[in-house]
Amino acid sequence: MQFHRFDLNLLIALDMLLREKNITRAAERVFVSQPAMSAALHRLRDYFGDPLLVRVGREMELSPRGQSLVDPVREALLLIQTTLGSQPSFTAATTQREFTLILSEEAVPGLLPAILERVSTDAPGIRINIELITQSALSRLEYGDADLCLCMDSLRLFDLRAFPETLHRTRLRPVRWICAVDRNHPTVGDTLSAEQYFSLPHVFARPNGSTVSTEQLVRRLLGIDISVHITVPSLLHLPLVLPGTRLVATLPERIAQMGAATMTLKTFPLPVETEPLHELLLWHKRHETDPAHAWFRDLIVRLSRGEM
């Protein structure tokens, strides 16, 4: 097999240089010295007959040729990694594997503990890195930085018209949104009208790194306009901030139920119509035939549907 005199050892250096656009950071990411990474860049420039990285002011930017290599190089490395990491015969009890799972907080009650319990019992050699959902979740799947994303099926949440064709997906549990207030709320009794709901000060969750306002986030997710007075970084925090306040929180029913066991809250159906939402499991198509990945996906799907 001929690779036109290209040293495949340079592929990792090339990927990291294209990604970091900085020699020092690229060297740190692959645990080599800065002079070694500089030498690698020199060899890559010689091979491609292109600078790949060019200085613009104080920063380095990719040349057009460098930009054209970003996706193909990354995809080539990920395919190699998937091929070498896949086992032709998979046995859960003995496999050694690491997965990164991006998770919406809505999936934490009930489903996450069940996933972790089953993995620890059936596949103790599997390690799971859990990250909370951000707007970069889908790009992390596409770039190979994460294996699975368990989120809500709102395209507007990701500011998309359609999910990328490279991502496979399956729908899981429905997500029902409700509202909650302190049990001793001074103005809310046994019912909550739409007029009351919109007049109260709202608390909502806006993840760290979100590039839109909290009001915009609510509009994208639920299609309603509310006046948000307090913002917290996670849906899981919402039940914690309600006791003793006049606030109303809009949150998934499962999270409210989790908080109701230990806090003095009362809950109501949302007094307005919203679009139905479901949990969605997403993964990149490159993992479709990976036996360990397929086992982990199937585990999540079956647990979410109460089949285990």
Instruction: Tokens 């035939």: give the residue.
Output: 289
Residues 150, 144 contacting (CB under 8 angstroms): no
Question: Letter for the amino acid at 260?
Answer: A
> Consecutive sets of 10 residues in the chain, 308 residues long: mean pLDDT of each?
60 86 86 83 88 86 89 79 64 90 90 94 94 86 89 83 88 94 92 94 86 86 90 91 93 84 84 89 89 93 88
pLDDT of residue 162: 84
Q: How many CA atoms lie within 13 A of 249 on its CB side?
A: 30
pLDDT of residue 27: 84
pLDDT of residue 87: 58
pLDDT of residue 249: 95
pLDDT of residue 35: 84
Q: Please state, in angstroms and rounded to a whole number, the distance separating the CA atoms of residues 199 and 206.
A: 21
Question: Letter for the amino acid at 162?
Answer: A
pLDDT of residue 82: 67
Residue ranges of domains in the chain, CATH in brackets: 10-85 (1.10.10.10), 97-308 (3.40.190.290)
- Indicate the pTM of the whole model: 0.73
pLDDT of residue 85: 60
